[in-house]
Structure 1
Amino acid sequence: MDCVFCTLIREGSARWVFRGPVVSAFAPLEPLAPGHTLVVPNAHFADLFDTPPDVLAETTEQVRRLAEVMRSALGAGGVNLLHASGPGSQQSVPHLHVHVVPRWPGDGFTTWPGERSGHRLDGDAVDLLAAATAGG
């Protein structure tokens, strides 16, 4: 089965905000806010863990560029970046993508989680992360 985002990129059948040689951006079918946009690499990479560093860097730069444009062209006061990677994250389409959602004061919704995770670890999470990243 072909990836839905790869099909959109190949066929050009989306409402494009921009199309670049490495990364493109398009409007979702059901936007959370006016101007809500998905930024995706043109090549198929399933998630953050699968994406080469140079493609991830270009994707991030295009997200930043789009956020700036949302402030200037749409008058947004800020943006929310929404992303999920991997099966435990509620990722809905297995193609790296970042939702860039323009926000305005009093716009009537929140994208911040309303609850905290109930998952528990053996050991302190910060200590485990610090030990795993030491020297790297």
Structure 2
Amino acid sequence: MSTPAYDENNIFAKILRGEMPCTKVYEDDVALAFMDIMPRADGHVLVIPKKAGRNLLDIDAEALAQLMPRVQKVARAVKKAVAADGITLHQYNESAGGQVIFHLHFHILPRWAGVELRPHTGEMAKPEALAALAEKIIAALA
């Protein structure tokens, strides 16, 4: 079975083109990082490559090599900004692997000892709450 083609109309492609809004925390020529609108933890951030790729299995190795230092940089800032004890990194590939949006993305989830991740209910966070957390993360990146 072959892998489906990259869909230029996925929500992350639209965010990259400026057709959909996001609460941005980091951007450069390689990556964009923004607050997850349905966070499973306070400070939940997504990091996506600007280069099109469905997931880890089909993006070219050079694009992935350029992306990973950005994932690390943002993860360090998230941990510092929210005084987390640790970080969980989620990355899903294809439907059977849990992927819902077919543009490579990494979930950075700050974690605290004894605190479970919130369930994924589809409930959206208040924009002002995301903005406040984004400000802390942006400050930690400086």
Shorter-normalised TM range: 0.7 to 0.9
TM-score of the two chains, using structure 2 as the length reference = 0.71
Amino acid at match of 2:113: P
Match of 1:4 in 2: 11
Calculate percent identity across the aligned residue pairs.
Answer: 29
Distance 1:102 1:46 in 2: 25
Runs of 4+ in 1 over 4 A off after TM superposition: none
Match of 2:94 in 1: 86
Comparing both chains, which one has the higher relative contact order based on Cα–Cα distances under 8 Å and sequence gaps of 6 or more? 2
Q: What is the deviation of 1:20?
A: 1.1
Q: What are the equivalent positions in structure 2 for 1:1-136 lying under 5 Å apart?
A: 2-11=9-18, 13-109=21-117
SS of 2:48's partner is strand
1:18-53 CA distances to partner (integer Å, 9 max, x unpaired)? 111011111111111111000000122001111111
SS of 1:71's partner is helix
1:53-106 CA distances to partner (integer Å, 9 max, x unpaired)? 121112211111112112222211110011111232121001000100001112
TM-score of the two chains, using structure 1 as the length reference = 0.74
Unaligned residue ranges in structure 1 (runs of 5+): 112-136
SS of 1:50's partner is coil
Amino acid at match of 2:41: A
Unaligned residue ranges in structure 2 (runs of 5+): 1-6, 120-142
Bigger CA radius of gyration: 1
Q: What is the deviation of 1:110?
A: 7.7
Taking only aligned residues, the RMSD between alpha carbons, in angstroms, comes to 1.8
